[in-house]
Amino acid sequence: MKLFDSLEKRFGFLAVPNVILILVMAQLFIYAAILAGRVEFAAVVLDARAVLSGEWWRLFTFLIAPPYLAGTLFQAVFLAFFWYIMWMMSQALESVWSVFKFNAFLLLGIAFSIAGTLLGQLISPGAVLGLTSYAISLSIFFAFATYNPNIQFLLFFVIPVKVKWLAWFAAGLTAFSFLFAPTMGHRLIILAPVLNYLIFCRSELSQSLKNRQRRAQFEAKRRADAAESLHTCTECGATEQSNPERDFRYKVVGGDAVCLCNKCRTPH
């Protein structure tokens, strides 16, 4: 992150702490306005066709639009939990990177999401493409899981699951959606919101891959060492693994220890 270190020295004073908390509060306000009938949910999300037709305000309002509208009590509770988790993860990333770098991470995610949505619509004009603020949360979740893989979340508020397994599951769903998306525009809109994660966490991902390779090599060597024979008959080449029924003993011949199995020790 040398580039961001340099930018932070110049523009660090512009960083906004607790930016996710500000967005969550704004989303709560818009959610209340939607429930009161003052705002329509469809009017504030990022609709690519609408933006290209002149509704430029959607480029900003989708950030303060709620991820979705809860239709049941469970969905409402989950939405509240989602907002809390988003704030908690943002706090953790601010402590790992810095407020400025987290702001930069978020701004890149927003820029990539907007660019991917509009470019995807141009590439696939027949598709209906759009985004809510939920898309931004995916890269935040992946970054949090990268730095805190062993923290546990309660799945369905009951089952403890390490965040790294949830992240792998989310990555699998994202990959599945990307591979089976109906158009290139849809693929672009799936990939764009996580590009900032790949930029900011590429060194951690590379190091993790190297560590996995080292562990795999160590385990392979350990198994190979365990598989090596401790006793090999100098006469017939039998070992305790090839012939476990044999008895191996050693004698000194010319100053060297020579191993012989019971058959080779028995005179013919």
Query: Residue 82 and residue 150: Cα distance in Å, rounded?
Result: 19
Residues 6 or more apart from 186 whose CB is under 8 A from it? Answer: 120, 124, 127, 129
Residue of 135, 114, 110, 3 lying closest to 52 (CA atoms): 114
Angle between helices 73-96 and 19-35 (to 10 degrees): 160
Token couple for 62: 């989708």
Token couple for 28: 């709560």
Residues 6 or more apart from 263 whose CB is under 8 A from it? Answer: 236, 238, 246
pLDDT at residue number 255: 73
DSSP code string of 198-220: HHHSHHHHHHHHHHHHHHHHHHH
Residue of 25, 50, 27 lying closest to 39 (CA atoms): 27
User: Which residue stretches of the chain have pLDDT < 70?
Assistant: 1, 156-157, 220-228, 267-268
pLDDT at residue number 32: 92
Query: pLDDT (tens digit, 9 = 90+) per residue, 103-119?
Result: 999 999 999 999 999 99
Pairing mode of beta strands 248-253, 256-261 = antiparallel
pLDDT at residue number 253: 76
The HSE-up count of residue 61 (CA atoms within 13 Å, CB side) is: 20
Q: Are 186 and 129 in contact (CB under 8 A)?
A: yes
Residue of 34, 40, 44, 50 lying closest to 129 (CA atoms): 50
Widest distance between CA atoms in the chain: 104
Residues 6 or more apart from 188 whose CB is under 8 A from it? Answer: 116, 119, 120, 123
Instruction: Name the residue ranges covered by the structural domains of the chain.
Output: 2-208, 229-268
Query: pLDDT (tens digit, 9 = 90+) per residue, 192-230?
Result: 989 999 888 888 777 777 777 777 777 766 666 556 677
Q: Are 18 and 85 in contact (CB under 8 A)?
A: no
Helices (H), 36-150: 48-52, 58-64, 73-96, 99-123, 134-147
pLDDT at residue number 228: 67
pLDDT at residue number 5: 72
CA dihedral 188, 144, 30, 60 (to 10 degrees): -40
